[in-house]
Amino acid sequence: MKAPPFRYHAPASLSEAVSLLSNLENARVLAGGQSLMPMLNLRVAAPDHLVDLGRVSGLTGIVDEGQSIIIGAMTTQRAVERSALVARRCPLLAEAVAHVGHQQTRNRGTIGGSICHLDPGAELPVVAAALDAELRIAGPTGARRMKFRDFPEGYLTSQLAPDEILTHVAFPAIGARTGSAFLEFNRRPADFAIVSVAVQITLGASDIVTHAAIAFGGIQGAPVRFAKAEEALPGRPWSAAVGETLRRLVPELACDGDDLYPADYKRDLCGSLLVRAMTKAAARAGGRDV
Amino acid sequence: MGEASSRIGTSARRIEDAALLRGAGRFLDDIVLPDLLEATFLRSPVAHGLIRRLDVSAARALQGVHAVFTYADLRPLMTSDRMPLALPAAGLRFAVDPFVLAVDEVCYVGEPVALVVAQTRRIAEDAAALITLDLEPLPAVVDPVDALAADAPKVRRECPDNLVARTRIDYGDADAAFAQAPHVIGQQFRLSKGGGHSMEPRGVLARFDEAEDLLTVWDSTQMPHRAKAILVDALGLSERQIRVLTPDVGGGFGPKAVFHPEELAIPAAALLLRRPVKWVEDRFESFTATCGERDQVWTMQVAFTQDAKLLGIRGTLRHDHGASTPYGIALPYNAATNLIGPYVLPAYRIEIDLCMTNKTPSAPTRGAGRPQGTFVMERLLDCMARKLGLPRDEVRRRNLIAPSQMPYPIPVRQRDGSTMEYDTGDYPECQARALKAAGWTDFSARQAQALSEGRYIGLGLANYVEATGRGPFESVAIRIGPSGEIVASTGATAQGQGVKTMVAQIVADAFDVAPQAVHVVTGDTSATHAGLGAYASRQAVTAGNAAHRAARLIVEKAATAAAELLEVSRDDIEIVGGACRVKGVPEQARSLGEIARALAGTPGFALPANLPPGLSVATDYMTAGLTYTNGTHLAEVEVDPETGGVTILRYVVVHDCGRMINPMMVEGQVIGGVVHGIGATLFEWMRYDAEGQPLSVTYADYLLPTADVVPRIEIHHMESPTPLNPLGVKGAAESGTIGAPSALVSAVEDALRPFGVTITDLPVTPPALRRLMRAAAARSAA
């Protein structure tokens, strides 16, 4: 199949890109194209204009700002995967990004593209949810910042206005005595996740959990924080028994299913992946990598 | 001087690969002609409906569009309303040959309705979107069992009902066997198998040359001669007016043996427009417009003795045939006959119903029903083992046909009217070798050890046979001119499996040259007088033996001519390195070119030895009967009981396809076949909703096995030559697919033994395994 007709724009600056988006009707941002181009060729998307951010300066790179790691939205997934800085300061993102598609698609796919596309099976939005990453957005009236928790609107849609561009994502850097883990289940390693989970926990004295963050992907239109479980964890050390307590909370998760992967099956996966991920994260927090 | 690598039985390098690896192959979409136009089809968006209005005027008006054709536009070129392609079949109650484009009823999603021809494919797709197609929805029939209900809606209005064919296999006295059997087990199986999904999709390019009065059709097909015959019939042209050429083909696997509507519509468009027209299938069309396999529902019973001897099997097979009959009824018949496998089965009765549904028509894909039949038998054997508390290998061993029983007739009539008969093979030895290679005896200890670590591993086995080398014939012609080049043309066709190397190696062996010295022409209807092509794992048997015969004949002619030219007796001539020379006097020799020059004739002079002119020969090999390949597969898997995920840890095949021409290519076929089987077992699933809408029309939803889920496949060979052909060869192309589902499912069930699940359906998905485990847990709790 061939894409329906569209006009291609390649602005060189952010202001030019924003101005194009403000002035053009039915325009879409092209940010790597690993999802959008197939959608065009399948004719499930039919924008009249494509605004390619590939030549816009200032949108790539990974910077350590102390509290956060700031990643330009057009930074490729492969660059993030290969970044020693990300591996050290944001290991959850490093672990998750290796699951995104194939190496060939990671060479072109971008951090911002994945987060804005919000595919329910995508890995990066789940990390952004677990860490409540901060999104830096440019628009015709200037820049604004938004926490990821406020970002998704629904299935494949975000709060981004048609004339706004995600420019950077700030992922909180990992602190002391903190461990994270990302796990997903899919049929083949490079596929979108049927269910994925991103967790990060911090331990205090006597390995008592002081803070926990848990996000699931694949069970609803947008990533879901598992607040019940996050609240249940602090105050005791991680153990298999605590894991079983968490598993018993899983039936309360709202979960979308279909004929192939029904909701009860997805909840099975949530329980299993959650306990496995927490076990890993707790070991890592305690200084024992697994 | 002889090239050891040319000998039959050695792993000669493939002569195809140098071009393919350099990107110098020429596939259909690589062909560009002057004035070429590109086409797309508007297809039915619903599974069943009546066309109330089809308005193509806006599409025709779009700039760059050359034509939009509907059925009414093409019909004047056709000799009949429907495409004339019915394959004869006993049991067919009514033939439903497809229409080139829908007339007034659409019967599956993807059925072609209109053909748009434009400057480019993109413009054609833009134009197709402008066509108004008003459909009155009709109820769709989706399930093959429901299709036969008394109140089922009709799949096609003109048909009396949805039972397109009914046939049966019945030998021995099944009812008597069941009446006296100490044990009977009944089980229903619902088996889904997917499509061919060749890397290169289908495609057709047609050009009409008025000066030559010739319609040339490039077609990515497995059967160019059949395509030509259908085009001659359908268009009312003569044989000399149509030439079908098959360029490099990137995989066939069955669907490209079926003649599809596009293969008639595109040539018709080229005739009407007097411009070359090309159409290349897109991936949505691969799922909806290309024939593939679908669902089968088997309701079966097995009767057996206390010591695990089979007494009889009986039951029914409901086969989902889709919306028309493009390729006879071979598929379910193969499935039912292949159930018997390498086992002594004294009595067997199966009623086979071919049910029409509002889905893309079903037709053979690699294995062609046999994996399903084998699956049912192997599952029943595993059920017997469980019931009797016997090891799975032991139950099989007690029922395997012994080598002393060969040839082993089975009272089942085949398509050609003959009785089924296994020719050669040592089935017990094949199983024994596979068990040994996979470490069967030690496995229970390994399994227990793994379980103590919380890992669920299992080992499964399956035996199978495959009827290969289906006739009636295949053609090979060899020509050598004064240039000395050896050119072998064959009606066999190449889809990537190495057919050219196979033919070249056999011919090269006879001339004592390297296979690269033989130029092989496949897929050109003007290059051989007749031909059939690729189906039923047949080309090494049929074209291989034709090449062998042709090579022997032409070598004899060359030697006779050389003897005359060198003034020695024929018996003093030997062929070495492609030259005929006098034994013991190597400097006295004539090259093939010199001999060809002599045989080309000189005005007024006699030909050497009064031989007929030309160093050329054309021959056909006619088969003596099907020859049976067999094998045993052992699969080791690990199952994650919490997710239902299955990982294949190890895969062992012991394979016997008689004498091997090129073991490397046999292994390529077996590995590819196993991967197809892995797909059919764990990944591929063409799904439809209750309205007949296909749910898996991208490769994100329809999962093909990728390199990272396929284990290394370990192959061991046995060679039981067949007496049915001079080379002693059997087919190898589909065999790998046949055993894989049975072996894998037996392994998964073995891994989940602590949970007590019985797997009856294909494919095996993680949620299905979780469901089975839950049901088993509920049963044991109750």
Is residue A65 within 8 angstroms of chain B, CB to CB?
A: no
CB of B431 within 8 A of CB of B397? yes
Which chain A residues are within 8 Å of B770, Cβ to Cβ? 265, 268
DSSP structural state of residue B29: G
Is residue A12 within 8 angstroms of chain B, CB to CB?
A: no
* CB atoms closer than 10 angstroms to residue B81: 12
Is B15 part of a structural domain of the chain? yes
Q: What ipTM, to 2 d.p.?
A: 0.95
Q: Under an 8 A CB cutoff, do B683 and A4 touch?
A: no
Torsion of the alpha carbons at B666, B670, B673 and B679, rounded to the nearest 10: -150
CB of A8 within 8 A of CB of A55? no
Is B399 part of a structural domain of the chain? no
**For residues A243-257, average pLDDT:** 95
Would you say how long chain B is, in residues? 782
Q: How many domains does chain B have?
A: 1
Q: How far is CA A285 from the centre of its chain?
A: 22
Which chain A residues are within 8 Å of B683, Cβ to Cβ? 187-188
Which chain B residues are within 8 Å of A102, Cβ to Cβ? none
Per residue in B423-444, pLDDT tens? 999 999 999 999 999 999 999 9
The pLDDT, as a whole number, for residue B760 is 97
Cβ pairs bridging A and B (under 8 Å): 63
Is residue A260 within 8 angstroms of chain B, CB to CB?
A: yes
Is the pLDDT at A66 greater than 90, yes or no? yes
Q: Under an 8 A CB cutoff, do A3 and B700 touch?
A: no
Is residue A44 within 8 angstroms of chain B, CB to CB?
A: no
Query: Sheet of B214-219: strands edge to edge?
Result: B65-69, B112-118, B37-43, B277-280, B203-209, B214-219, B242-245
Is residue A132 within 8 angstroms of chain B, CB to CB?
A: no
**For residues B192-215, average pLDDT:** 96
Is the pLDDT at B87 greater than 80, yes or no? no
Torsion of the alpha carbons at B588, B593, B599 and B604, rounded to the nearest 10: -90
User: Which residue in B335, B337, B411 sits closest to B172, CA to CA?
Assistant: B411
The per-residue DSSP string of B108-155 comes to STT-EEEEEEESSHHHHHHHHTT-EEEEEE-PPP--TTGGGSTTPPPS
Which chain B residues are within 8 Å of A272, Cβ to Cβ? 642-643
Whole-model pTM? 0.96
Distance from CA of A64 to the nearest CA of B (A): 35
Which chain B residues are within 8 Å of A273, Cβ to Cβ? 643
User: Which residue in A265, A280, A113 sits closest to A183, CA to CA?
Assistant: A280
Is B428 part of a structural domain of the chain? no
Query: Which residues partner with A166 through β-bridges?
Result: A137
The span from the CA of A51 to the CA of A61, in Å, is 20
Give the mean pLDDT of chain B: 96
- Using pLDDT thresholds of 50, 70 and 90, give the confidence band for residue B327: confident
The pLDDT, as a whole number, for residue A290 is 63
B525: left (phi over 0), alpha (psi -120 to 50) or beta: alpha
Is the pLDDT at B1 greater than 60, yes or no? no
- Which of A4, A188, A273 is the closest to B126 by Cβ? A4
Is B121 part of a structural domain of the chain? no
- Using pLDDT thresholds of 50, 70 and 90, give the confidence band for residue B6: confident
Q: Which of residues 71-90 of A touch B (CB under 8 A)?
A: none
**Closest chain B residue to A35 measured between Cα atoms?**
B700
- CA gyration radius, chain B: 28
The span from the CA of A104 to the CA of B761, in Å, is 35
Neighbouring residues of A150: CB distance < 8 A, sequence distance ≥ 6: A159
- Using pLDDT thresholds of 50, 70 and 90, give the confidence band for residue B2: very low
The span from the CA of B55 to the CA of B131, in Å, is 6
- Using pLDDT thresholds of 50, 70 and 90, give the confidence band for residue B3: very low
Q: Under an 8 A CB cutoff, do B284 and A1 touch?
A: yes
**Closest chain B residue to A269 measured between Cα atoms?**
B643
At B672, list the tokens.
């590819």
Which chain B residues are within 8 Å of A188, Cβ to Cβ? 683, 703, 705-706, 708-709
Which chain B residues are within 8 Å of A262, Cβ to Cβ? 767
Question: Which stretches of B327-455 are assigned E, i.e. beta strand?
Answer: 348-356, 408-413, 419-422
Per residue in A107-160, pLDDT tens? 999 999 999 999 999 999 999 999 999 999 999 999 999 999 999 998 899 999
CB of A238 within 8 A of CB of A282? yes
The pLDDT, as a whole number, for residue B5 is 58
Distance from CA of A150 to the nearest CA of B (A): 29
Is B766 part of a structural domain of the chain? no
User: Residue B264 phi/psi, 5° resolution?
Assistant: -100, -40
Per residue in B450-485, pLDDT tens? 999 999 999 999 999 999 999 999 999 999 999 999
Is B134 part of a structural domain of the chain? no
Q: Under an 8 A CB cutoff, do B643 and A191 touch?
A: no
The span from the CA of B401 to the CA of B412, in Å, is 16
Query: Sheet of B573-576: strands edge to edge?
Result: B573-576, B579-582, B585-591
User: Which residue in B228, B211, B286, B295 sits closest to B85, CA to CA?
Assistant: B228
Distance from CA of A218 to the nearest CA of B (A): 15
**Closest chain A residue to B281 measured between Cα atoms?**
A1
Is the pLDDT at B90 greater than 80, yes or no? no
**Closest chain A residue to B701 measured between Cα atoms?**
A191
* Helix, strand, or coil (residue B55): strand
Q: Residue B562 maps to which CATH number?
A: 3.30.365.10
B307: left (phi over 0), alpha (psi -120 to 50) or beta: alpha
Distance from CA of A46 to the nearest CA of B (A): 11
The span from the CA of B70 to the CA of B101, in Å, is 7
Q: Under an 8 A CB cutoff, do B125 and A2 touch?
A: yes
**Closest chain B residue to A1 measured between Cα atoms?**
B282
**Closest chain B residue to A42 measured between Cα atoms?**
B284
Per residue in B498-530, pLDDT tens? 999 999 999 999 999 999 999 999 999 999 999
- For tokens 């991967």, what's the residue? B675
End-to-end CA distance of chain A: 45
The span from the CA of B463 to the CA of B344, in Å, is 13
* Helix, strand, or coil (residue B355): strand
The per-residue DSSP string of B665-699 comes to HHHHHHHHHHHHHHIIIII----B-TTS-BS--ST
Q: Under an 8 A CB cutoff, do A185 and B643 touch?
A: yes
B500: domain range? 4-25+471-622
Q: Under an 8 A CB cutoff, do B125 and A42 touch?
A: no
Is the pLDDT at B182 greater than 50, yes or no? yes
DSSP structural state of residue A6: -
Q: Under an 8 A CB cutoff, do B687 and A260 touch?
A: yes
User: Which residue in B488, B530, B482, B534 sits closest to B510, CA to CA?
Assistant: B488
**For residues B228-250, average pLDDT:** 97
Is B613 part of a structural domain of the chain? yes
Q: Under an 8 A CB cutoff, do B703 and A5 touch?
A: no
Distance from CA of B122 to the nearest CA of A (A): 5
DSSP structural state of residue B728: -
**For residues B165-172, average pLDDT:** 95
DSSP structural state of residue B247: -
**Closest chain B residue to A2 measured between Cα atoms?**
B122
Is B421 part of a structural domain of the chain? no
